[in-house]
Amino acid sequence: MTAGSSADPADIHRALVALVRTSGRDVLATLTRWTGDLALAEDAVQDATLVALQTWPRDGVPDNPVAWLRLTARRRAVDLLRREIARRPKEVAAVDRPELTDDLGEEWDDVSPSVVDDDLLRLVFTCCHPSLELDAQVALALRTLCGLTVAEVARALLVAEPAMAKRLVRTRQKIAAARIPYRVPPDHELPARWAGALATVHLMLNEGHTATSGDDLVRQGLVDEAIRLARLLHRLQPDDPGAMGLLALGLLSDSRRDTRTGPDGVILLADQDRDRWNRAHITEAVSLLAEALRRTPTTPDRYVVQAAIAACHALAPTWEDTDWSAVVSWYDTLVGIDPSPVVRLNRAVAIGERDGADAGLRELEAVAGLDGYALRHAARAALLRRVGRDDEAAEADAIASMLPMSDPQRRLVSPDPAARPANG
């Protein structure tokens, strides 16, 4: 794997970006446990990537880039801790700090997967601490858990980049100054923290399943990690229907992983090869879903209902044979829990299947607040095309193509008369 002097800077840059995306979050979580300081751990990981930008083109990509990143970030954290301790009053400096030794023990070189899981779960609970405002929680989770750049977080949340950078700095300062702890809360505090933890893992799942920007529609590593975290939450509260629903939802979305993209980009739900869906995932999810529904007969849970919608698709032999009445009825329930514009958009698309494109279009036009959401314009274009309003459809596609989305999604939004609504 060592590239030597002939290394192409573009290849090296790509390797580095991929490394940070797949392993940055594990290294960050472990470093945060070790230093007790999220901001410092973030700085250390970022500095390590800068070191890579300088040394990799000269020395080649290391044989084990993950180990290299872990080691370099750890050394950098030691430097930063030393500097911070020198700067602070004595009585503050000595508290809760790890031994500052350059001797990197085996514990560091060989972090077991279960330790990394626990570290990640702690990070989830830090990101959704109720003393952080909701926008800050989401931004922090996208940045630290999903590994998005500041620019990508800004785009995903429709905020200008400098404002987002400022918000993230303020959030990091609050975590450090107020000492927001980095740990899984004790049992008696779990109920108050539960909704935030589920929402954070759900956000990871969404971002992994449909990346906001970048080359890939799906960031498989992120999906795998979100499912792993959903499993950990389910283990932590085995009777909680929300955790069952979230895990089921993750498994159902992931059951289609091999069929969602092809050589030409996105393959819509309608056109996917259902024989290649992951049956083991679907079976496990459906049994989780049945149990969760049994526990929530009168108080529907948002993740359970979303899993129920996904299950309608997973169990349908074809797109045409989907039970659209059931899908619409689940969306009606979901709108009752979460009347957000995106939920109402998806409901409109389902109505377009049950009652025809005209009805779907009417519902979609009634949904306000999604002018900056590419899939809204793409879904509208598809419905317009089905009722023969091709000029307006082309206009809607043009708007969609100017808004943030992943490259495979962008390739999909083209004046292709065969295009169908993208609710896959």
Partner 1 sequence: MPLYAAITYTADVDWTAPEQADEMAEYGAFSAGAAAVLRGGAALYPTSTATTIRLSEKGGDVVTSDGPYVETKEVLTGFFLLECADLDEAISRAAEIPAAWNGAVEVRPVIPMG
Binding site for partner 1 (CB under 8 A): 89, 91-92, 95, 129, 131, 177-181, 185, 189
How does DSSP assign 9-70, residue by residue? HHHHHHHHHHHHHHHHHHHHHHHHHHHS-HHHHHHHHHHHHHHHHHHHHHH---SSHHHHHH
Give the whole-angstrom CA distance, residue 307 versus residue 251.
9
- The dihedral through the CA atoms of 229, 230, 232, 236 has a sign that is positive
Minimum Å gap between C-beta 283 and partner 1 is 40
Give the whole-angstrom CA distance, residue 326 versus residue 348.
14
Instruction: For partner 1, give the closer residue by CB, 172 or 256.
Output: 172
Instruction: For partner 1, give the closer residue by CB, 130 or 262.
Output: 130
Minimum Å gap between C-beta 192 and partner 1 is 10
Instruction: For partner 1, give the closer residue by CB, 185 or 341.
Output: 185
Minimum Å gap between C-beta 139 and partner 1 is 19
Instruction: For partner 1, give the closer residue by CB, 178 or 402.
Output: 178
Residue 237: in which H helix or E strand, if any? none
Residue 132: in which H helix or E strand, if any? none
Instruction: For partner 1, give the closer residue by CB, 182 or 331.
Output: 182
Instruction: For partner 1, give the closer residue by CB, 180 or 337.
Output: 180
Q: How many residues does the chain have?
A: 424
Residue with tokens 């879903």: 289
Instruction: For partner 1, give the closer residue by CB, 177 or 368.
Output: 177
* Residue 331 burial (C-beta neighbours within 10 Å; 0-12, 13-18, 19+): buried
Give the whole-angstrom CA distance, residue 400 versus residue 379.
9
Minimum Å gap between C-beta 182 and partner 1 is 9
- The dihedral through the CA atoms of 16, 18, 21, 25 has a sign that is negative
Residue with tokens 């609504």: 421
Q: How many CA atoms lie within 13 A of 212 on its CB side?
A: 22
Can you read off the two tokens belonging to residue 77? 């954290």
| Measured torsion, CA atoms of residues 212, 216, 217, 221, in degrees rounded to the nearest 10 | -90
Instruction: For partner 1, give the closer residue by CB, 68 or 194.
Output: 194
The amino acid at 138: V
Minimum Å gap between C-beta 37 and partner 1 is 12
Minimum Å gap between C-beta 188 and partner 1 is 10
Q: Which of 198, 196, 43, 42 is nearest to 131 (CA)?
A: 196
Minimum Å gap between C-beta 186 and partner 1 is 9
Instruction: For partner 1, give the closer residue by CB, 36 or 352.
Output: 36
Can you read off the two tokens belonging to residue 276? 């290649």
Residue with tokens 């979609």: 364
Minimum Å gap between C-beta 36 and partner 1 is 9
Minimum Å gap between C-beta 101 and partner 1 is 24
